[in-house]
Amino acid sequence: MIDQALQHCAVIGAAGKMGRGIAQLILQLMTQEKLRRPGEDFRLDLIDQDIKGLEQTRKYLRAELQRFAEKNINSLRALVKDDPKLISNEEVIQAFINAGMDCLWLSDQLQDASLVFEAIVEDVEAKVELFQQLKTICSEQSLFFSNTSSIPIQYLADKSGLQGRLVGFHFYNPPPLQSLMESVYPSDSKGVVVAKELAERLGKVVVEANDVAGFIGNGFLMREIQFACSLAEEGGHAAIALLDELTRDQLHRPMGIFQLADYVGLDVCVRIARIMTDFLGKSVTAPLVEQMVAQNILGGQNPDGSQKEGFFRYEGRKPVAVYDQKEYRPLPEGKAPPEWKQRFLEQEAVIVQKLVEDGVAKSLEDVKLVLEKGFHH
């Protein structure tokens, strides 16, 4: 069922970090199908108002196609074994790159497509408006995949008139490297079969979350950030650095909780927390994060992948100073009080249990899978 639909896809928001990563995954799969089915047409529309950003995405995709081909040369040789013109590895690699680049169409205007992937800003009104426009542009057979990490899918479908054709397809960041995907399937969705097959073709580990704002990933993360901020308020700027060290080194995570907030983007954290609060009727906002954003300290990444200033100032991706009111100060020495680790572990257990009790996750095992594969806890 996916074969025909895969011939024409579109990624909206393709100049952004998530959209670019989603485009890479779809293009790699599409290009393999193009080699497997010579003579058939394939098209991937990259759509964004930032045309210069789309040109950067095109360059990025060319480089990633080459990297993918070099890494998977044996499987690609099997796909083109009947083509007498492709003998050497270099010829196969170049054929793969050319086939993929020929699929790309760049535009700042919405286009009809069989499969449409949305990866725009995490904003309720913006997403509703976009899907309303897509409903008028796309055929009745088109299926839509939203990368939202916080907005209930049924709400978006009802507001846009796309009932039955919209699914939640939340890639973890960065999409090409993260194995986990959270999927949300409204009960009336016609896209479930296609979505499941596509996720399998992409090699993703899929956790099905119930259609509750924030789903499993942000249902956990926003509440943990909220708790970490409440602890930090007890000890000032030094507590931020000590809690970050605690959650990174003592809890054995790739990043501390405040560095992770910087990585996500403090403005993104604020938007997600506010959306969840509105839909859930319970606050998951963190005043400390709100204060940082109010001072225009937003975190996020630079185009080269280095970390922008947030709770920390960075050298590359390494925290070297912590923010204190109006300036960055050297990281403090020492460790967080032992009781903070215990409080963190207890709170983590409470959050996990509540995600199941509140009907966000279907089981404790699903929450565990998200924490292991999505957050690498």
- In the chain, alpha helices (H): 2-5, 17-36, 51-71, 73-79, 89-103, 124-137, 153-160, 192-201, 217-232, 236-245, 257-264, 266-280, 287-294, 338-357, 364-369
3-state secondary structure 199-243: HHHCCCEEEECCCCCCCCHHHHHHHHHHHHHHHHCCCHHHHHHHH
N-terminal to C-terminal alpha carbon distance within the chain: 36
Rounded mean pLDDT, 129-156? 97
* pLDDT tier for residue 251 given thresholds of 50, 70 and 90: very high
Q: Is beta strand 312-315 parallel, antiparallel or unpaired with respect to 205-208?
A: unpaired
Provide φ and ψ at 294, rounded to 5°: -60, -25
Res 111: pLDDT: 92
Rounded mean pLDDT, 52-58? 96
325 token code pair: 């009111």
Structural domains of the chain sorted by starting position, each given as residue range(s) with its CATH number in brackets: 2-208 (3.40.50.720), 217-354 (1.10.1040.10)
Is residue 11 within 8 A of residue 48, CB to CB? The reply is: no
Res 278: pLDDT: 98
Rounded mean pLDDT, 346-364? 97
Q: By C-alpha distance, which of 85, 41, 366, 343 is closest to 205?
A: 366
Mean pLDDT score of the chain: 94
Please state, in angstroms and rounded to a whole number, the distance separating the CA atoms of residues 102 and 31.
9
* pLDDT tier for residue 233 given thresholds of 50, 70 and 90: confident
Give the distance from CA 108 to its chain's centroid: 22
Res 187: pLDDT: 75
* pLDDT tier for residue 235 given thresholds of 50, 70 and 90: confident
Rounded mean pLDDT, 277-290? 97
Longest Cα pair distance anywhere in the chain, in angstroms? 70
* Tens digit of each residue's pLDDT (9 = 90 or more) over 167-206: 999 999 999 999 999 999 987 778 889 999 999 999 999 9
Q: Is 90 exceeded by the pLDDT of residue 3?
A: no
Q: Is beta strand 318-324 parallel, antiparallel or unpaired with respect to 327-330?
A: antiparallel
Rounded mean pLDDT, 109-130? 97
Q: Is 90 exceeded by the pLDDT of residue 264?
A: yes
Rounded mean pLDDT, 121-131? 97
* Tens digit of each residue's pLDDT (9 = 90 or more) over 73-111: 999 999 888 888 888 999 999 999 999 999 999 999 999
Please state, in angstroms and rounded to a whole number, the distance separating the CA atoms of residues 254 and 246.
12
* pTM score: 0.94
* pLDDT tier for residue 153 given thresholds of 50, 70 and 90: very high
Is residue 13 within 8 A of residue 186, CB to CB? The reply is: no
Give the CA-trace dihedral at 120, 155, 10, 375, to 10 degrees: 60
* pLDDT tier for residue 374 given thresholds of 50, 70 and 90: very high
47 token code pair: 């759509």
Res 304: pLDDT: 77
